[in-house]
Amino acid sequence: MRLLQRGVTLLHMAVLLVLTAAAVQAADRDRVRAFLNVTGFDVALESIKLSAADAPAMLGVNAQDFGASWTQLAHEVFDVELMKEMGVDILEEALSDEALAHAAEFYATDLGQRLVEAENESHLADRDEKRELGETLIERLKAEEPERVAILDRMMKAIGSAESTWKASNEIQIRFLMAAADAGIVTLKTDEEGMRAMQEERKEEGLESIRQGGLRGSALTYRDFSNEELETYAEALEDPLMREVYDLMNAVQFEVMANRFEVVASRMRGLDPGQEL
């Protein structure tokens, strides 16, 4: 099946490279599940379901045009427990005991648990409302508290560069569109190489958008934390073991998202606008 043959993409390779490096000391499944809970990564995986609304828009259609059939399809494909198990499958093989213990120890502290609570709330918040509130807050901080903006920027750089996010987001979009083309849902005006070239032309604009979006989200998510607490968090995130954890979790989250978008594309073929179950 062509959809599966295309599986070894940049995201797959990133996960496989990390897996190969850490497999000798991989964590067991129960510890990984506990790790997901204490760090809040289980909620980050759950939040992928919110991205389901983006799929029809990428194809130039409105989800409402499909009626109840789209709601049912999105619910099945972006099943929360399934996505969590996909994450556990990868992390069980790739996450080293040392890195797991290091991250779990920090997030089990009082500060760590407060951070997880704030991050969990942010993951599942309404995206439009979060953007609006974050925009207002970050503009005020830029004018009145530039030192806080610098701390937020430092935190963002520690957990993953805008460059890596840009590449992963583009990969998800391309995998979805190619899967949709394979399923006969859309006819692409260009091939994969052409799409990548167009993305490259908009790279600088995309990187700046990601950076500003990250600052907006961080300003809102961590609004109740002091600068001192955020500096402590930044230092923790900059530790090599914590970087290892976040590099892997970012790769896992993007891979699960890309996989679900490919599946939803393959199953959209049977949907007709207005079709009801």
DSSP, collapsed to helix, strand or coil, labels residue 105 as helix
Domain ranges of the chain: 2-270
Task: Give the burial class of 219: count Cβ atoms within 10 A of its Cβ; 0-12 exposed, 13-18 middle, 19 or more buried.
Answer: buried
Query: For position 2, what pLDDT does the model report?
Result: 30
Query: For position 153, what pLDDT does the model report?
Result: 95
77-133 pLDDT tens trace: 999 999 999 999 999 988 899 999 999 999 999 999 999 999 999 998 988 999 999
pLDDT band at residue 26, thresholds of 50, 70 and 90?
low
Q: In this structure, what DSSP letter does residue 189 have?
A: S
CA-based nearest residue to 169, from 135, 134, 138, 205: 205
Q: Determine the average pLDDT of the residues in 137-160.
A: 95
54-72 pLDDT tens trace: 888 888 777 777 777 888 8
CA separation for the pair 109, 224 (Å, rounded) = 17
